[in-house]
Amino acid sequence: AEHVPPRTLDGGRTVEAIAKYIRDGKAKKIVVMSGAGISTSAGIPDFRSPNTGLYANLARLNLPYAEAVFDISYFRTNPLPFYILAQELYPGRYRPTITHSFIKLLSDKGLLLKHFTQNIDCLERQAGVPGEKIVEAHGSFARQSCVVCKSPYPADRMLEAVRKMDVPHCLRPECEGLVKPEIVFFGESLPDEFHDNKHLPSEADLCIVMGTSLTVQPFASLPGFCSESTPRVLINLEQVGSMGSRPDDVLILGDCDAGVRRLASALGWLDELEALWKET
Ligand code: APR
């Protein structure tokens, strides 16, 4: 790929360079990697932002430590904190952001190779990104099953349980194990779909990382799988992980919705993007 000018923190010149790279048809296999930061403007708190992050606000659940709410061994002893949180996080009450619509636009233009998300809010699907383009690396609320015998649990019963905050148990009388949505808890392995697709960043010709602290492995390793000749763009409030360490890295620091609008504008796609988001 043509050498993208080295990054500048104001994102000005380099946004233009990335837009030119895409306009010149040099980015046909874009991988996008995202986290909770792309859903905060939808009203869903992220995890680690000071004060507003979920982990700063779980004290009321008197957990031994914040991440216990997503720890499988803690869940087995006390599933209630998770179900209290599930009531707030359950999909269906939130609208995708313009950042989700930008990912959908990349897909509509045939430029999206794969979108890896750590989010469980399903807002990518809701924004219209095709299912086969999405890897939900940390699972989602789409399915739920018994943690003991793995038998599936009906979605409508789950919705009812979360609404009433009544911890659901396996329907098999001889089992009665705890039921949990197929969200990847700490201590559980990521879905096969992640491992089957984690080679794709090495095939990408552009990588866009948005709204993640890149603190949780193995997801945080994905940007490092991009080849040295692949420009990597970070659209995030803060510099994270190894982003910015390579000469072709571009840091667009600040709110991701503003960063996405700036990139779309440089691409001449802003009206199309706003119209797409409006109908979402
Ligand atoms: N615009 C841009 N960046 C934002 C915005 C925003 N509006 N809001 C938050 N951010 C940034 C934060 O600065 C932070 O760098 O997004 C990042 C969010 O980081 P986390 O809260 O750690 O969320 P995430 O990276 O998705 O967490 C990863 O941790 O708890 C586990 O499984 C859980 O999937 C989650 C994983």
Say yes or no: CB of residue 212 within 6 Å of ligand 1.
yes
Give CATH for domain 54-92+141-183. 3.30.1600.10
pLDDT at 142: 83
Nearest alpha carbon, ligand 1 atom 28 = 216
Which pair of tokens denotes residue 232?
């990597």
Question: Which residues are bridge partners to 251 per DSSP?
Answer: 234
Write down the domain spans for the chain: 15-42+97-138+191-278, 54-92+141-183
Classified by CATH at the fold level, domain 15-42+97-138+191-278 comes out as Rossmann fold (3.40.50)
pLDDT in tens, 102-149: 999 999 999 999 999 999 999 999 999 999 999 999 998 889 999 999
Catalytic residue IDs: 138
Asked whether the predicted pLDDT for residue 90 surpasses 90, the reply is no
Same fold yes or no, 15-42+97-138+191-278 and 54-92+141-183: no
Q: Is the dihedral of CA 116, 204, 222, 208 positive or negative?
A: negative
Does residue 243 contact residue 249 with C-beta atoms inside 8 Å? yes
C-alpha 48 to ligand 1 mean position (Å):
6
Residue-wise pLDDT tens digits, 75-87: 999 999 999 888 8
Residue 11 pLDDT? 46
Predicted TM-score (pTM) above 0.80: yes
If you take atom 34 of ligand 1, which residue's CA is the nearest one? 118
What are the phi and psi torsion angles at 194 (to 5°)?
-70, -50
Q: Select from 212, 215, 242, 253 the residue to mutate for testing ligand 1; criterion: most ligand atoms less than 8 Å from CB.
A: 212
pLDDT band for position 56 (50/70/90)?
Answer: confident
Greatest alpha-carbon pair distance for the chain in Å reads: 64
Q: What is the mean pLDDT of residues 93-97?
A: 95
Distance 252 CA to ligand 1 centre (A): 15
Its ipTM equals 0.99
